[in-house]
Amino acid sequence: MKGSFITLEGIEGVGKTTNTSFIKNFLENSGKKVLVTREPGGTSFGENLREIILEEKDYKLSIITECLIMFAARSQHIEEVIKPALSDDYYVVCDRFTDATYAYQGGGRGLPKDVIDHLKYIVHPDLEPDLTIYLDAPEKISFSRIEDRNKDSFEKEDLAFFKNVRSSYLEQASLHQDRIMIVDASNSLDEVQKDISHYLKVLLDRNSDV
Ligand code: T5A
């Protein structure tokens, strides 16, 4: 595949959506074709599943059901959108990917890591992001940025849940230092975007050497 796959990760309100737009503009100004997408979602099927996952329900999904839904949506997303775009030279910028499953279903809900490893192996044995920007901020800071919004089913979890999600993200970042770049999202947006620009330049330089 000729394009590059960039993912953004972090807990609620750290600035993933805001910085997805920034990355799109940065890459387009560097002459790249860019496709922005998100998980769960990115296809009609995935967006339907997203609604089921995030809406208030009068029943509770089991942890494994929730995880399987994430991977079902992801499988369709990869085959229908991500792989074709990468083959067509696009820079694919995705708001969350499998690192979110390790963080939320693993760290947050307590699903064993090897279950997620297995599903990942089934769904995308040959696809890994080229660059993951992990926006890191303490739960209290990121939640203060979205306190006025209507909360989805995850955002109603308590701060302890998000502490575990954040710890799991940090653990993954330490395991995959070549791919996951930690950006301090408690800084001003200008500083955050300066850091992101640095990592994007490194990726573009690396690609121009190939
Ligand atoms: N999920 C997802 C799983 O459980 N498993 C999975 O495998 C996957 C893929 C999806 C939910 O699904 C779960 C995780 C999630 O709970 P979502 O809508 O994609 O939900 O994600 P959210 O995190 O809920 O999205 P948010 O919109 O809440 O957060 P963002 O995108 O991180 O934040 P953003 O960009 O909207 O910014 C929030 C506010 O902060 C300001 C922005 O202007 C905005 O007002 N801001 C800053 N302010 C000051 N300084 C900065 N540095 C700022 N950066 C942004």
Q: What is the pLDDT of residue 157?
A: 87
Cβ distance 134 to 192 under 8 Å?
no
pLDDT tens, N- to C-terminus, the chain (210 residues):
578 999 999 999 999 999 999 999 999 999 999 999 999 999 999 999 999 999 988 899 999 999 999 999 999 999 999 999 999 999 999 999 999 999 999 999 999 999 999 999 999 999 999 999 999 999 989 888 888 888 888 888 888 999 999 999 999 999 999 999 999 999 999 999 999 999 999 999 999 876
At residue 121, the pLDDT reads 98
* Best CA proximity match to 47, nearest among 67, 19, 74: 74
CATH of the domain at 148: 3.40.50.300
CA distance 17 to 104: 18
Question: Which protein residue's CA is at the shortest distance from atom 45 of ligand 1?
Answer: 145
Q: How many domains does the chain have?
A: 1
Which residues constitute the domain of residue 180? 4-208
CA of 13 to the centre of ligand 1 (A): 4
* Whole-angstrom distance, CA of residue 186 vs CA of residue 15: 10
Q: Which atom of ligand 1 is nearest to the CA of 18?
A: 35
Q: Whose CA is nearest to atom 51 of ligand 1?
A: 189
Using the structure block, give the residue that is written with the tokens 């203060």. Answer: 144
Residue 152: what pLDDT?
A: 84
Structure tokens belonging to residue 136: 């890191």
* pLDDT at 146 (0 to 100): 84
Q: How far is CA 188 from the centre of its chain?
A: 21
| Cβ 145 under 6 angstroms from ligand 1 | yes
- Alpha helices (H) in the chain, listed in sequence order: 16-29, 44-54, 63-77, 83-87, 98-101, 113-123, 139-144, 159-175, 189-209
